[in-house]
């Protein structure tokens, strides 16, 4: 049975953090998916601006990721 979701499995802030990790830090999308606990497909949609097209790269509050 397929469950329909009425929301993205991510937030705008998390999308900004993903963009920071992939575009600024040079992380592979797989690593960003693991660290931010997202599906790789969701990370791909964020990076290619199909989800959260207005997101900008923003470092996370957790300084251990820097």
Is the Cβ–Cβ distance between 21 and 36 less than 8 Å?
Answer: yes
Q: Which of 23, 25, 22 is nearest to 33 (CA)?
A: 22
**Full DSSP string of 50-61:** SSSTT------S
Q: Which of 50, 48, 51, 66 is nearest to 14 (CA)?
A: 51
Q: Which of 1, 31, 8, 3 is nearest to 18 (CA)?
A: 31
Q: Is the pLDDT of residue 2 over 80?
A: no
Amino acid 9: pLDDT: 77
4-63 residue pLDDT tens: 555 557 899 999 999 999 999 999 999 999 999 999 999 999 999 999 999 999 999 876
Q: Indicate the pTM of the whole model.
A: 0.82
């Amino acid at each position: 049975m397929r469950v329909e979701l009425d929301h993205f499995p991510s937030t705008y802030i998390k999308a900004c953090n993903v963009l920071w990790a992939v575009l600024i830090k040079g992380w592979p999308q797989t690593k960003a998916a693991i660290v931010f606990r997202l599906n790789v497909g969701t990370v791909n949609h964020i990076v290619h601006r199909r989800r959260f097209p207005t997101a900008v790269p923003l470092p996370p509050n957790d300084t251990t990721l820097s």
